[in-house]
Structure 1
Amino acid sequence: MTVLRRVGAEGFAQSLHRVVEIYGAAMRPPADQVAGRAAIMRAHASHPGFTCLFAETEDGTLVGFGYGFHGMPGQWWHDVVRRALADRNGHQAAEEWFGDAFEIAEIHVHPDHQNRGIGRRLMHALCEGRTERTAVLSTLDQPTAARHLYHSLGFTDLISGFTFPGGYEPYAILGVRLPLPGPGTPG
């Protein structure tokens, strides 16, 4: 059984080494990218409306996490993706999705604990009570379990085949109107 525990920016920063371990196990990034990802995560904790959840076993072992914040101009991901959506679908679509958005920056579950509903619980708990109009995120543009989860929660593809500046893998940008459908939603 896993429990979800909300942590603030300070608790997140204190556990960053554990968070990065989960990220590495779930995403298997090249080793040279891990330090950069840790620095990005540390910076995210200072964004307005930052919220983080840890999924832990009963003995306190971290097996998953998710976090997000209120997206706004001046944040790299927000600016890059909003501009791409405006270029593809117009400024009105970009405003509709990014004008008041909860940006889910990271959500990962250790591979040994996947397929147990932890990711679904994290998503629901992260979005619960958010006052933003929409939630947005990026995920690999592949038929992954994560993408299936997001679609089952009502997320739709806003952009497919998007490569971030300096990147090489195609991503999909997804969005959903808040609140999310209830946690009992099948999928």
Structure 2
Amino acid sequence: MKDAKLRDIDHRAFLRRLGPILAVYAAAMRPPPEQLPGRHTIMERHATYPAFRAVVAERRGGSLLSRAGGTLQGFGYGFRGETGQWWHDVVRDALTRTGGGAHAARWLDDVFEVAELHVHPDHQRHGIGRRLLNTLCEGRPERTVVLSTLDPGHEDTPARRLYRSVGMVDLLTGFVFPGGGPPYAVMGATLPLAPYERDGAPASQPAGGPA
């Protein structure tokens, strides 16, 4: 298997590539097919949010536009969280209820929100998810990073282990978003994330890293 090459794409390139990006999302998350058009619309809207950043992992020498497909191994994207964004407002309300206004402000007043980060099942367990997350967060000017991940019965999932390994802590667990659906954990860290070597062993943490 060839190593994945990571690269940034702007919001225009992201929109052009929504087909293969959504295919990776579907393979990783296995949502009901009828939900995919709605997810497509949500991703289109996210690309208009402030300070949007997207990173893709693709097979070296491949093209995201290949008819054969399979060259896109994973992707992640996020943006600056602000009042008026649905996820941001819902999580702020929940954090305020559980920890007070200062607690919510500490995490969400200056925040990079990772909206999606997925690796195709055929390419998981090769460190691509960690590389995507670290690349997404590298150089961000915000003070914190926050995201949500599935929390089925508070299980120690691979995704949660990844996020904890870069310094993220639980802010909410077993949280069900308005409208129903499965429970999620909301996790956050102070930026910059703790650096890691490619084999996953932690490197020395710089001053000002996650507490």
**Fold equivalence (TM over 0.5):** yes
Q: Give the equivalent residue in structure 2 for 1:178.
A: 191
3-state DSSP class of the match of 2:84? coil
3-state DSSP class of the match of 1:53? strand
Deviation at 1:143, TM superposition (A): 2.1
Q: Tell me which of 73, 94, 102 is aligned to 1:84.
A: 94
Q: Give the equivalent residue in structure 1 for 2:177.
A: 164
Q: Give the equivalent residue in structure 2 for 1:125.
A: 135
Task: Say yes or no: does 1:109 pair with 2:111.
Answer: no
Rg larger for: 2
3-state DSSP class of the match of 1:56? strand
For structure 2, list consecutive stretches of 5 or more residues without a partner in the other structure.
64-70, 203-211
Checking the alignment, whether the CA contact within 8 Å between 1:121 and 1:183 is kept in structure 2 is no
Residues 108-147 of structure 1: CA deviation (Å, up to 9, x unaligned): 0000000000000001000000010000000011321111
Q: Give the equivalent residue in structure 2 for 1:57.
A: 59
Distance 2:41 2:201 in 1: 36
Residues 34-69 of structure 1: CA deviation (Å, up to 9, x unaligned): 110110011000000000001000123111000000
- 1:133-148 → structure 2 map (5 Å cutoff): 133-141=143-151, 142-148=155-161
Q: Give the paired residue count.
A: 187
Residues 56-115 of structure 1: CA deviation (Å, up to 9, x unaligned): 001231110000000000000000011101011100000000000000000000000000
Distance 1:12 1:186 in 2: 32
- Residue type at the aligned position of 1:183: Y
Q: Tell me which of 5, 13, 22 is aligned to 1:20.
A: 22
Deviation at 1:32, TM superposition (A): 1.2
Checking the alignment, whether the CA contact within 8 Å between 1:152 and 1:186 is kept in structure 2 is no
Distance 1:99 1:180 in 2: 18
3-state DSSP class of the match of 1:138? strand
Query: What is the CA RMSD across the aligned residues, in angstroms?
Result: 1.0
Distance 1:151 1:38 in 2: 29
3-state DSSP class of the match of 2:54? strand
For structure 1, list consecutive stretches of 5 or more residues without a partner in the other structure.
none
Deviation at 1:31, TM superposition (A): 1.0
Q: Give the equivalent residue in structure 2 for 1:39.
A: 41
Identity %: 53
Distance 1:84 1:110 in 2: 31
Checking the alignment, whether the CA contact within 8 Å between 1:156 and 1:174 is kept in structure 2 is yes
3-state DSSP class of the match of 2:181? coil
Distance 2:74 2:15 in 1: 15
Distance 2:8 2:180 in 1: 32
Q: Normalising by structure 2, report the TM-score.
A: 0.87
- Residue type at the aligned position of 2:194: P
- Residue type at the aligned position of 2:42: I
3-state DSSP class of the match of 2:37? helix
Q: Give the equivalent residue in structure 2 for 1:66.
A: 76
